[in-house]
Amino acid sequence: GSEQIFATLILQFELICARDKPENGALVSTLQKRTLFSAVQVMLRQSEQARKVARSRKFLDVLLDRLDALYAGVGLSYQDFVKKNGDAKKTPIVDELSFIAGILSSWFLNDILVHQTNINRIYKLFLQFWQWISNNRELENEFMKALVCLTENSIVVCKTFATTPPPGHPHSILKLVIAVATAETGKVKGPKSELTLLTLCLRMLINSCACHEGRVMIAKYNVLDNLCKLHPAHTKLQKPWLTVTKLWLQFWEVYTRHNDVTEVKHLTVLGALIRKSTPDLRLLALEIMRNMSYVPSNRPALLSSQDYMYALKSVLDGTDPTEQLIVVSSVWKTVANSHKAKGAIKSSPLPRRLNALLQQRSLRENCEDDDLFNVLNIVVKLLNS
């Protein structure tokens, strides 16, 4: 079965790699080796039995030992290596790093890195090779994919990559990824820009939102300020670049689900997107505003914001029940246990619209099974109490 096949592949992998001398910077790139690396990736991605064999045979140690030996053999920063050995000599090293990153991605797409010792080793090795990674676009994409897969299912990995780096390294992996995301956003010059790396960076940032340490670092470095760069007021274009804006909004929506870091920011951008953008961007902008309203300390700023009040009014005047459920939930959270908020909403045109919508939804068949009807019922009663 697949267990025996993968056990044989590991033996072949070790035999082929033994022909190299990574500690001397000498790597052989053959068709047999490339095919073997690809086969290892496919089996780790597709087969739980293969992953079980990889765990029992400590295959991760084999990969990390190889990276250690390679780093010892290179012994130089990317620029120094190229200066000393010439551009062509870097190709086998870049290929090797790319293959190992691909194996890690394939493996941990469906597995969880649990041992802190291994997590710490990967953290250190990725930082050691960061100059190499950041000087080659394809390699950068491969390592960012590996970071996404490693952080996807493990809060321990997310915490580690957000915390103090090992001695000799000034920045954590999360801080470096934030820097890449910011740089990639700045490079976007139009709707047809290449977005693979930015997409991967933002996925890793989304994963990092799962831990407090990650959220704190994202807040500390004002990551969300990047979104403003895409707004028409900054780009001098008629509309934002939809794909990039959507990527950032998807990240922002996840980030604002967490009360410890959510604050009222960039309402002008959200307001503009709600007034004039595609339905999916508008929905994301509304969800972000709703998430902000779940934090009691945010409510005064929201209630005094024309953008927030306009969003509530325009959605209640519209016909989209998904959008209406989002804003009615937001009103519910805003007025619950707050006389001041209740007073602000009651003195606006919103109660009349809420009553009209409740009346309209009550005429529907099986209205008691309708989430929007039920939430409207609660909100109207709250406002009338």
Domains and CATH numbers, the chain: 263-385 (1.25.10.10)
Answer whether residue 28 shows pLDDT above 80: no
Q: What is the pLDDT of residue 268?
A: 86
Residues facing residue 26 across a β-bridge: 21
Confirm if 204 and 148 have CB atoms less than 8 A apart: yes
Of the CA atoms within 13 Å of residue 154, those in its CB half-sphere come to 24
Question: Which residue type sits at 197?
Answer: L
Chain segment 53-91, per-residue pLDDT in tens: 999 999 999 999 999 999 998 877 889 888 888 888 899
pLDDT-wise least confident of 162-166, 171-175, 223-227: 223-227
* For range 244-263, the mean pLDDT: 91
